[in-house]
């Protein structure tokens, strides 16, 4: 892969890159590096692409988007999507509190995740989430017990593991029988029957999520067809399903992939649902990457160029703690100088300062760069900042939103002192 991904909100003008007509170089100079930059225009356009399928011409709604906030949980982004009408897909109590802090309603949140604690379930019940996506029988039993203790009714759906191969990276595949997610297809009926008899659970829907960075629509169709069979069988047992959560996972173009058009993708699935006789259900999409992935990038400064007999290294100030995907998944991100220079090109491994051989951001990249140049690492809006860490006692990067030719700091760069502010030394023994 060596071609630029299809970007919204970022443009190359006169050999310099801009975000909504704001120079990326000026952003690096103002806010420092590493720095995540997001285009508000790109975020809105991606959301509108889903809405193009979710809304009919008469304004009635075919489906609703619930943003998978694990991909990017910045409060400004949550606030933007909430204002556009999105709900949210949560996987932790912390994400629930982020939604509330952003001013959105818990009533538009579905709570997924395989390891919900008693405290998380209690909090979600008390604030009134839309639904729990239940991923095991022990979890179902726990939710019922917590709801009983609180004298509340828990709205639940089951996350079905349909054993469908999404043909994606094994670490982000979630719909196979050997994945930890969801309830095995063969056990779904008995689990729904158990839920039906629980005093403090109310069955509202059914959920399915098969993976991430999926570029082929056929696995979605296969999964839906298996879900339809379950819904029909559940109806014969007096169990009515009111909503169908398709999950997310639609892939993006990282540079060379053919990602489906969002509106065409959503229309194809919704048309299939309606043609199979399930158009009366409330339909939920849970996109993450396809909303934010190509709406954000990571700026980083070249510290050193280090030639060796085996490799040329371009050592930058961003590292695996800032962008984990290359080290974790061997993921490809296009890397480009912010200012294009008429100097000789060399082939570099782009690496960071973290003390790990696995700390690389790109391998064998043709780059025309010098020390102190600024590079942009593209398609970093999803699973970039949200997966970042403080490994090697490195503060997490600043985050900036560009909107209407203006820049807004939406996350301050952490200070080193803040990283150990909650730590305590052992008391010293008295001497003498």
Q: Is residue 366 part of a domain?
A: yes
pLDDT band at 7 (very low <50, low <70, confident <90, very high): confident
pLDDT band at 167 (very low <50, low <70, confident <90, very high): low
Dihedral angle computed from the Cα positions of residues 419, 390, 393 and 321, in that order, rounded to the nearest 10 degrees: -160
Residue 182 is predicted with a pLDDT of 83
Q: Is residue 303 part of a domain?
A: yes
Domain boundary among the residues 287, 307, 332 is at: 287
Q: Is the pLDDT of residue 168 over 50?
A: no
The Cα–Cα gap between 300 and 310 comes to 24
Residue 314 is predicted with a pLDDT of 98
Whether residues 20 and 167 fall in one domain: no
Q: What is the mean pLDDT of the chain?
A: 93
Whether residues 167 and 275 fall in one domain: yes
Q: Is residue 58 part of a domain?
A: no
Q: Is the pLDDT of residue 119 over 60?
A: yes
Q: Is residue 92 part of a domain?
A: no
Whether residues 273 and 299 fall in one domain: no
Angle (deg, nearest 10), helices 40-54 and 75-84 = 40
Number of domains composing the chain: 2
Whether residues 152 and 256 fall in one domain: yes
Whether residues 151 and 232 fall in one domain: yes
pLDDT band at 173 (very low <50, low <70, confident <90, very high): very low
The Cα–Cα gap between 397 and 414 comes to 7
Query: pLDDT tens-digit profile of 360-417?
Result: 999 999 999 999 999 999 999 999 999 999 999 999 999 999 999 999 999 999 999 9
> Is the whole model's pTM more than 0.75, yes or no?
yes
pLDDT band at 302 (very low <50, low <70, confident <90, very high): very high
User: Catalytic site residue 35?
Assistant: no
Whether residues 122 and 243 fall in one domain: yes
Query: pLDDT tens-digit profile of 223-263?
Result: 999 999 999 999 999 999 999 999 999 999 998 888 999 99
Whether residues 180 and 309 fall in one domain: no
Domain boundary among the residues 287, 312, 336 is at: 287
Query: pLDDT tens-digit profile of 264-297?
Result: 999 999 999 999 999 999 999 999 999 999 999 9
Whether residues 18 and 160 fall in one domain: no
Q: Residue 19, preceding bond cis, omega within 30 degrees?
A: no
pLDDT band at 179 (very low <50, low <70, confident <90, very high): low
Domain boundary among the residues 258, 287, 316 is at: 287
* Residue 23 structure tokens: 């120079």
Q: Is residue 82 part of a domain?
A: no
Domain with residue 409: its CATH number is 2.40.37.10
Q: Is residue 2 part of a domain?
A: no
Catalytic residue among 54, 201, 276, 355: 355
Query: pLDDT tens-digit profile of 303-315?
Result: 999 999 999 999 9
The Cα–Cα gap between 230 and 234 comes to 6
Range of the domain at 249: 112-287
CB 159 within 8 A of CB 207: yes
Domain with residue 254: its CATH number is 3.20.20.10
């Amino acid at each position: 892969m060596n071609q630029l991904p299809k970007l919204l909100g970022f443009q190359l003008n006169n050999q310099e890159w801009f975000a909504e007509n704001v120079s990326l170089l000026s952003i690096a100079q103002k806010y420092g590096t590493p720095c995540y930059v997001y285009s508000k225009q790109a975020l809105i356009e991606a959301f509108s692409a889903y809405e193009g399928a979710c809304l009919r011409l008469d304004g009635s709604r075919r489906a609703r988007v619930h943003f998978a906030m694990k991909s990017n949980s910045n409060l400004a982004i949550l606030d933007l999507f909430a204002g556009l009408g999105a709900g949210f897909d949560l996987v932790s109590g912390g994400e629930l509190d982020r939604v509330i802090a952003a001013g959105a309603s818990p009533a538009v949140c579905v709570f997924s995740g395989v390891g919900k604690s008693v405290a998380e379930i209690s909090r979600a019940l008390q604030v009134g989430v839309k639904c729990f996506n239940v991923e095991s029988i022990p979890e179902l039993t726990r939710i019922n017990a917590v709801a009983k203790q609180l004298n509340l009714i828990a709205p639940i759906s089951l996350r079905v593991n349909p054993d469908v191969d999404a043909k994606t990276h094994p670490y982000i595949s979630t719909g196979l029988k050997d994945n930890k997610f969801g309830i095995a297809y063969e056990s779904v009926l008995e689990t729904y029957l158990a839920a039906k008899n629980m005093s403090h659970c109310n069955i509202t829907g059914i959920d399915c999520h098969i993976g991430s960075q999926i570029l082929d629509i056929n696995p979605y169709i296969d999964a839906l067809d298996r879900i339809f069979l379950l819904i029909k069988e559940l109806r014969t047992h007096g169990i009515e399903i009111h909503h169908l959560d398709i999950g997310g996972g639609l892939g993006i173009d990282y540079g060379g992939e053919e990602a489906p058009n969002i509106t065409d993708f959503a229309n194809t699935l919704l048309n299939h649902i309606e043609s199979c006789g399930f158009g009366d259900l409330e339909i939920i999409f849970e996109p993450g990457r396809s909303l934010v992935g190509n709406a954000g990038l990571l700026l980083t400064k070249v510290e050193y160029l280090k030639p060796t007999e085996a490799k040329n290294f371009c050592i930058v100030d961003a590292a695996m703690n800032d962008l984990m995907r290359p080290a974790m998944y061997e993921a490809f991100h296009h890397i480009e100088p912010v200012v294009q220079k008429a100097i000789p090109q060399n082939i570099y491994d782009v690496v960071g300062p973290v003390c790990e051989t696995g700390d690389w951001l790109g391998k064998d990249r043709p780059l025309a760069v010098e020390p102190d140049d600024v590079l942009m690492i593209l398609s970093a809006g999803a699973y970039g900042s949200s997966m970042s860490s403080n490994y090697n006692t490195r503060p997490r990067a600043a985050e900036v939103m560009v909107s209407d030719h203006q820049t807004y700091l939406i996350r301050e760069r952490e200070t080193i002192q803040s990283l150990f502010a909650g730590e305590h030394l052992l008391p010293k023994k008295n001497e003498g």
